[in-house]
A and B are shown apart, each in its own frame.
Chain A
Amino acid sequence: MRRLTIIFLMILVGILIFSADTIKIFMIPKFTGAPYFVATEKGAKKAVEELKALGLPIDFLYTGSSVANTEEEIRIISNLLEQNPDALIVSANDEDALVPVLKKAKQKGIVVVTYDADVSDPTARDYFVNQASFDAIGAVLIDLVAKNVKPDANIAIVSADPNAANQNRWIEAMKRRMKEKYPKMKLLTIKYGYDRPAESFQAAQDIINAYPNVDAIIAPTSVAFPMVAEAVVKAGLKGKIYVTGLATPNDMRKYVKMGVVQDVVLWNPVDLGYLSVYVANAAVRGMISKVDGTEYVCGGKLGLYKVYDELEGKKSVVLLGPPFIFTIDNIDQFNF
């Protein structure tokens, strides 16, 4: 704890010494307009205001293509490099295609922070602000089942595609959590809905029919999650089968209000945008402190963050934190 206090003091001193200079930060999401990215923009702008109030003014620009378009994103970044920003915050439409233009930015001495979606080459950026680790998501989903049903529940999973990398890593993390903490919990089956609503619905129905002893169904995809909820309602098993998974509040609002779903797991995109600006600002102003070879960065009201040298295969990662759980009490505060 004393170490943390020292770091905080160092940051405060840093703020006092380096105040006044306005820095330029450009933030380029995959695309603008979508509620998810509007939420990251909201968080980012809040961070900019806070930093301004602290005497750390930022010339902040949030811009991007209005639809997901890799070409436009590359062109926008390339054009904006002419204005010599101090930092770029980018969510990559394509993990490979953006590497050259971001490398060019780094060569010009610009700090590059990726958020939401990283690029494949870690040398093309300085930091990646990761919204949630696979491990944490897997653990939270299993913990929710243990808490809300029972530690020896029978569960089933509806996933997207057997080859979907993210899906498989989440499922692996869930299995690990079960083995470590709830050895009596049993995974009955994994069905695949291929991220198509009709097939996901069918997969959920198959589970309900084939396994009458199923206590909980987990759907770590935003396509399958509402369909599983729908299947449970149609089977008249609302309240009998616990349903949870990964999706946005907008995807699930209806089912949360109906009471079929109690917990929707994801991360908070407002916080994600907020933290990204803090990281970029700190990197530009040299406010990332190093203690015992580990870097720490201040995330404003979110607290102090460690920079992971490596996290789940990605280098230089700032992890937003534990996943966020949307419930009936807070879901209406979010629109994305």
Chain B
Amino acid sequence: MRKNIFLLIILGVVVMIMSMMSKEFLRFSTLLESLRYAVEMGIMAVPMTMIIITTGIDLSVASTLALSGILMGIIWKYLNLNIWLAGLFAILIGSGCGLLNAYMITGLSIPPIVVTLATMAAYRGIATGLSKGRGITGFPESFQNFGQGSFMNFIPYSVFIWVIVALVGYVVLEKSKFGRYIYSIGHNETGAMFSAVPVVRVKNILYLFSGMMAGLSGMIYSARIGAAKSNAFMGGELEVITAVVLGGTSITGGEGSILGSTLGVLIITFLKTGLNLARVPHSVQSIIVGIVLVASIITYTRFGVGFFKKIKKGGV
């Protein structure tokens, strides 16, 4: 909880400084519009948080997004399927990709970083091969509007989906037995196993969920840019992981929250929007994002140490 308060303070400081740097920043329309470009990151950050809590990682999310998008486009275009039905297929395909990751991680006991590093390349490669480097365009107006339009010309439609995913993720991780399992695996996997936690099943579900959300993001992404592209969201997996880590999820497992990751996404998004509006060159922007990330991590570790000392003194 302390981390989240700290993150809120950072977010406040970012918004304050950015609104001083450009007069267009602090407007609902600007902030809401900038969220449109954070939806995919926000959605994929939810399963990523859970996976990192279990000391795992999923590097294949951006490639899964691209592959699901391309296959959705192909199904829609060449099988003449309704676009929304094809969108459902994108989610299924993403889930399939996630399931394959899960099988290799739990079934074949290969470390997650190795498995997903391989599938990151493989899924992207299949997507490129299928599309032959060309995009699939011409999606129906209603579908494009879902990614490009806004409710009452104000809130981008896709943001609602992000909110739903984040809420569900929050309830699952923090209010349910399944959530307890996730934390216990992160704290001590062997211990969890001996405490009758279904470790393999939990992990399978998490990687499946990650693929599913990447598929959903693939559909949203295609609607947003009005095209299915094999180079979609290139390098996006690192952005997702950056947001999650900034959000206080410990890469060594056992710690993290959906609220924190969501705040992480918001901080990065608003920071970049503000810096763009303040006309800060891009190379400088990357440096600033890096500094914010490192500074937060340092503060966490300090906070953490102080926190545990207090508990000891209190004689818990």
Contacts and interface: CB of A to CB of B under 8 A. Distances in A.
Contacts of A32: 281-283
A82 interface: yes
Contacts of A33: 283
A71 B232 CA distance: 8
B21 to A, nearest CB: 12
Interface stretch (B175-183, B221-229, B247-255, B302-310): B221-229
Nearest to A68: B234
A64 B279 CA distance: 10
B161 to A, nearest CB: 18
Interface residues of B, number: 35
Interface stretch (B30-38, B86-94, B103-111): B30-38
Contact of A100 (B144, B272, B273): B144
Interface stretch (A72-80, A216-224, A302-310, A319-327): A72-80
Nearest to A83: B24
Contacts of A66: 281-283, 286
Contacts of A82: 24-25, 27, 29-30, 33, 277
Given A72-B282, A82-B30, A120-B137, A99 B276 contact: no
B282 A96 contact: no
B226 A100 contact: yes
How big is chain A's contact interface, by range? 20 to 34
Contact of A80 (B36, B232, B277): B277
Nearest to B147: A100
B140 interface: no
Contacts of B30: 79, 82
27 contacts: A65-B282, A66-B283, A66-B286, A70-B231, A70-B234, A71-B233, A71-B234, A74-B37, A75-B276, A78-B34, A79-B272, A80-B276, A82-B25, A82-B30, A82-B277, A83-B24, A94-B135, A96-B137, A96-B227, A97-B225, A97-B229, A97-B232, A99-B225, A99-B227, A100-B144, A100-B225, A104-B148
Interface of A: 32-33, 61, 63-66, 69-72, 74-76, 78-80, 82-83, 94-100, 104, 120
Interface of B: 22, 24-25, 27, 29-30, 33-34, 36-37, 135, 137, 144, 147-148, 224-227, 229, 231-236, 272-273, 276-277, 279, 281-283, 286
